[in-house]
Chain A
Amino acid sequence: MLRRDVLKAIPASLFLTGFPNLGTARNLKDGRLVVINLEGGMDGICAVPPLGDRSLRSARRDLLINENLKVNPFFGLHPAFKNFGTMLSADEATIVHATAFPYTKRSHFEGQNIVETGILTPFSSKTGWLGRAMELAGVGGRSLSLDTPLLVRGNMDVEAYYPADLRGSKFPDNGVLDALKSIYEGDALETTEVLQQQLNLSLDAPRLRDPEGLAIFAGKKMQSQHGPKVAVIRVPEFDTHANQGTEDGLHSEQLKVVDNVFGALKAGLGPMWASTVVITITEFGRTIAQNGSAGTDHGYGSACLIAGGLIDQAGIVSDWPGLKPNALHDGRDLQATIDMRSVCAACLEISFGLEHDEIKEKVFFDTKIKRVYNEIFS
């Protein structure tokens, strides 16, 4: 295999976290939550095109897709979403459109930080909204990737899972790990302890690093009552400034990855799918108009895909702002009419059983966040 193919084959990372901590767990729902972080700014207009909006065609002559899957008379769905489309048909998925974290400066790095921390001032928090929610729900514990995403950092151990493939190397043995434990303290000590537990439990884990393989692995681990309750899967390279493509091409390939992750999670979770919610997040959407290189630039509002057995009825939740120039944010981007923090809060509510007021005050530190639970889950 060519090296470039190897690189292409590893565009994702997995983080499993939130093993039940029986000492401190509160008597809350036993749901499962998976967050798929689409890094680079996913084009929600391409993923879930508002076909009924007359302004779409003139803005995107070279990016229009002819064979969309039909969701309702107004919205379509990119043909890459075969698994997700089936979930929609089965009332196991829903879409929130024209949504974003309230951040409008269009920087990837500030935006990604906000998406992970849930705090609107970039780089002001060392913990993530998901990590704080897990702490609140008492699902402290550990996880199974190369680094630990800010999203799940909080006051708990976090275990990463992204199996090594270092030719000729050996698993760290207990002798080495015991020696390191005797010389480490703080985070390094906790990390070593978690690594030791992980190695003792996961020696039979598949040595897979492609997104689908990681998703199946995550799902299987999450099936167990004492398994992890939360997983984070990172899918990068949504920054489609050039040659974005239509049915095929760069963006389509990335959407297929996401769709396969949805499918693999469902397969891996098995019966636990009924108690699961899977949500996509991204730092921003893309410009409504295509740029000069058949791509799109950094924008604002995007779409959020949600799936899982905890959804009762499929649909599209949107207060559609329209694509006419005077309806656009700064005259160029899809306006966000639903705060993504509200969407995340609804997912925390249904999977962890936390109260909305508690989430807005102790997870997002903003009492103005509206509750959209009923719109998504009822």
Chain B
Amino acid sequence: MDTAKISRRIGLGDTEELSGYSDTSEAIEASLDLPINFKGIPRIGGNLEDWPSDQKYSLDERIQKLVTRRANEDSIDRQKLSDAERDKARTANWQNYSVDEIDKHRFFHAGQYANNQIKLRLSYFWLNHFTVGAKETTPQLILDYWERVIIKGLNGTFADLLYDAITHPAMLTYLDNIYNIGPNSPKAKGCGSTAGQASCVVGLNDNLGRELLELHSVSPSFGYTEKDITDCAKVLAGWGNIFDKNGWSKKPSDFSRPWDNYHSEPGIKTVLGQKIPSGKKGLRVLTDYLATHEHTKKFIALKILKHFCGEAYAASHVDELIQVWNATDGDLLQIHYKALTMSINSNEPVFLWPTTWCFQIARITGGNIVAGFNEISKDNMRQHVVDAGWIMSEMGHDFWSRRQPNGFSDIKSDWISTEHLDRRIRYAGLLFDHGKSKKNINRIIDEHIKSEKLKIKLSSISSERTRFIATMCSPEMLEV
């Protein structure tokens, strides 16, 4: 496989990051150990800088903004205002205390400018495996989830990643576990005969428990029962209590320590035949058990291979990947290294997700149309300065979108449609019209297109704009 194709396959886009290494495997090995340095540009056409510290938020800062935003909303609703005044006040409040617009730009800029694209490409896979979409407060939390759980987890074990993902407030909110209260919990007992009624809402919510088994670990291939799901929900009861006795609107509890014994279900539970103790420690016992289950290893191995080696990955690769898993106790760094080296040695095509493609063509051309960090949400944004969140949404591949917990598809046919093609053509057109590409299109064709026949066809297109769009949307760029 040629270097340009390998670079796109493992997430680099351009080939510069491969220079300095004797081979691609060495570059992969080095990248997996390196931290990610988040960079961005302050404005379109500006120079690359570290992402500004005043546009980074800790989990506590995010929560505090949520609390303030909510309190302000209540205050605005109580004031005597005209409809127009109320809308204006609500919009200003929303903009002042929401950080997801900034987060989406940080995410998009990272995809174009961060130093370690190999790790980022891995992070997109896991962000999708442990999907958190927009629901209630989650948009304010998704970037924290991505950075502190997913990216940090790339250098740990699968067992750590599973536990950290399940207990992050974004996941606990997205899959309703904030409402999961043990029917025999201290809270339920305090309700007495009114337990389960509107005046004292308590009871299990099995949404996260179900997806923990189905999507995050063993998968339906295990053949678990409804009782397994119910006991899983009992283990999870108590995780994610963001309410206090006054309710969310007044002063939610601390999101960063989302365990509350008051909501937990007492007693030993049995999930997939495994006894799980009561209390906070029970969940870690459960996730550790699930993380090392043979069905989990196989399910995750299949997903990794489909994503990085293509839909028609070699069947023998599954056993090879599981062998690495067994030999390293689920060390993701070793599993990733194995998967990526399998990928670069495979000839099966890998269809790129829309945003991965957006990042790569920006890196290949050196162009950019996304607002700089000093331009986010500014009224004076120029026509060709585009909001990163809007691009991801329009491309149908927005990690902040409302979507189902099974995440984005890895199947090519799910991404082939007239509307998807329309978006790709439009994005490439925008990049040509306004992106200020730093590389001549003929050089890009020469460096990145392998097929001589395709090179000839692309080079023969007389219009430079059409040649640029056709190259970016060519089969070799869409499928690597």
Asked if A145 and B417 make an inter-chain contact with CB atoms under 8 angstroms apart, the answer reads: yes
Residue B183, interface by CB 8 Å: yes
Residue A188, interface by CB 8 Å: yes
Asked if B423 and A292 make an inter-chain contact with CB atoms under 8 angstroms apart, the answer reads: no
Among the listed stretches B38-46, B110-118, B193-201, which one makes contact with chain A, having 4 or more residues with CB under 8 Å of it? Answer: B193-201
Complex CA gap A145/B423 in Å reads 11
- Residues from chain A with a CB closer than 8 A to the CB of B461 are 179
Given A166-B427, A188-B478, A242-B176, list of 6 further CB < 8 A pairs?
A7-B393, A146-B423, A167-B383, A167-B386, A195-B421, A293-B176
Complex CA gap A176/B463 in Å reads 9
Asked if B205 and A126 make an inter-chain contact with CB atoms under 8 angstroms apart, the answer reads: no
Chain B: which residue is nearest A2 at the CB level? Answer: B94
- For chain B, the count of residues having a C-beta within 8 Å of the partner chain is 73
Complex CA gap A105/B224 in Å reads 10
Complex CA gap A179/B463 in Å reads 10
Known A108-B406, A168-B434: A3·B389 in contact at CB below 8 Å: yes
Residue A183, interface by CB 8 Å: yes
Complex CA gap A40/B406 in Å reads 12
Q: List 27 A-B contacts (CB under 8 A).
A: A3-B100, A3-B101, A7-B134, A7-B393, A106-B210, A107-B220, A108-B406, A146-B396, A146-B420, A147-B417, A160-B417, A160-B419, A160-B420, A166-B426, A168-B383, A172-B421, A172-B422, A172-B425, A175-B466, A179-B461, A191-B421, A195-B422, A241-B205, A292-B181, A292-B183, A293-B176, A293-B180
The binding surface of chain B is classed by DSSP as helix
Asked if A183 and B198 make an inter-chain contact with CB atoms under 8 angstroms apart, the answer reads: no
Complex CA gap A108/B368 in Å reads 38
- Residues from chain A with a CB closer than 8 A to the CB of B425 are 172, 176-177, 180
Among the listed stretches B10-18, B159-167, B468-476, which one makes contact with chain A, having 4 or more residues with CB under 8 Å of it? Answer: B468-476
Residue A313, interface by CB 8 Å: no
Residues 71-116 (chain A) with a chain B CB within 8 angstroms: 105-110
Smallest beta-carbon distance B200→chain A, Å: 10
Residue B291, interface by CB 8 Å: no
- Residues from chain B with a CB closer than 8 A to the CB of A294 are 198, 201
- Residues from chain A with a CB closer than 8 A to the CB of B197 are 61-62
Known A109-B404, A164-B419: A176·B469 in contact at CB below 8 Å: yes
- Residues from chain B with a CB closer than 8 A to the CB of A176 are 425, 429, 466, 469-470
Query: A183: which of B419, B429, B474 is its contact (CB, 8 Å)?
Result: B474
- Residues from chain B with a CB closer than 8 A to the CB of A164 are 394, 419, 422-423, 426
- Residues from chain B with a CB closer than 8 A to the CB of A39 are 404
Residue B401, interface by CB 8 Å: yes
Chain A: which residue is nearest B386 at the CB level? Answer: A167
Residue A153, interface by CB 8 Å: yes
Smallest beta-carbon distance B434→chain A, Å: 7
Residue A318, interface by CB 8 Å: no
Asked if B210 and A298 make an inter-chain contact with CB atoms under 8 angstroms apart, the answer reads: yes
Complex CA gap A177/B416 in Å reads 15
Asked if B430 and A147 make an inter-chain contact with CB atoms under 8 angstroms apart, the answer reads: no
Residue A154, interface by CB 8 Å: no
Chain B: which residue is nearest A293 at the CB level? Answer: B179
Query: A169: which of B387, B430, B463 is its contact (CB, 8 Å)?
Result: B430
Residues 411-460 (chain B) with a chain A CB within 8 angstroms: 413-423, 425-427, 429-430, 433-434, 454, 457-458
Residue B402, interface by CB 8 Å: yes
- Residues from chain A with a CB closer than 8 A to the CB of B401 are 7
Complex CA gap A161/B419 in Å reads 6
- Residues from chain B with a CB closer than 8 A to the CB of A177 are 425
- Residues from chain A with a CB closer than 8 A to the CB of B429 are 169-170, 172, 176
Smallest beta-carbon distance A144→chain B, Å: 8
The binding surface of chain A is classed by DSSP as loop
Chain A: which residue is nearest B434 at the CB level? Answer: A168
Chain B: which residue is nearest A8 at the CB level? Answer: B402
Complex CA gap A298/B207 in Å reads 9
Residue B2, interface by CB 8 Å: no
Chain A: which residue is nearest B205 at the CB level? Answer: A293
- Residues from chain B with a CB closer than 8 A to the CB of A241 are 176, 179, 205-207
Asked if B384 and A292 make an inter-chain contact with CB atoms under 8 angstroms apart, the answer reads: no
Known A166-B430, A191-B421, A291-B205: A179·B414 in contact at CB below 8 Å: no
Complex CA gap A118/B149 in Å reads 39
Known A168-B386, A170-B429, A236-B402: A198·B466 in contact at CB below 8 Å: no
Asked if A292 and B204 make an inter-chain contact with CB atoms under 8 angstroms apart, the answer reads: yes
Asked if A183 and B413 make an inter-chain contact with CB atoms under 8 angstroms apart, the answer reads: no
Q: Mark A136-156, 1 if CB is under 8 A from B, else 0.
A: 000000000111100001000
Smallest beta-carbon distance A354→chain B, Å: 26
- Residues from chain B with a CB closer than 8 A to the CB of A297 are 205-207
Smallest beta-carbon distance B107→chain A, Å: 15
Asked if B417 and A148 make an inter-chain contact with CB atoms under 8 angstroms apart, the answer reads: yes
Asked if A146 and B419 make an inter-chain contact with CB atoms under 8 angstroms apart, the answer reads: yes
Asked if A187 and B179 make an inter-chain contact with CB atoms under 8 angstroms apart, the answer reads: no
Known A2-B90, A183-B475, A195-B422: A158·B226 in contact at CB below 8 Å: no
Chain B: which residue is nearest A177 at the CB level? Answer: B425
Asked if B384 and A180 make an inter-chain contact with CB atoms under 8 angstroms apart, the answer reads: no
Chain B: which residue is nearest A163 at the CB level? Answer: B419
- Residues from chain B with a CB closer than 8 A to the CB of A169 are 426-427, 429-430
Residue B310, interface by CB 8 Å: no
- Residues from chain B with a CB closer than 8 A to the CB of A194 are 418
- Residues from chain B with a CB closer than 8 A to the CB of A168 are 383-384, 386, 430, 433-434
Q: Mark A167-208, 1 if CB is under 8 A from B, else 0.
A: 111111001110110111001100110110010000000000
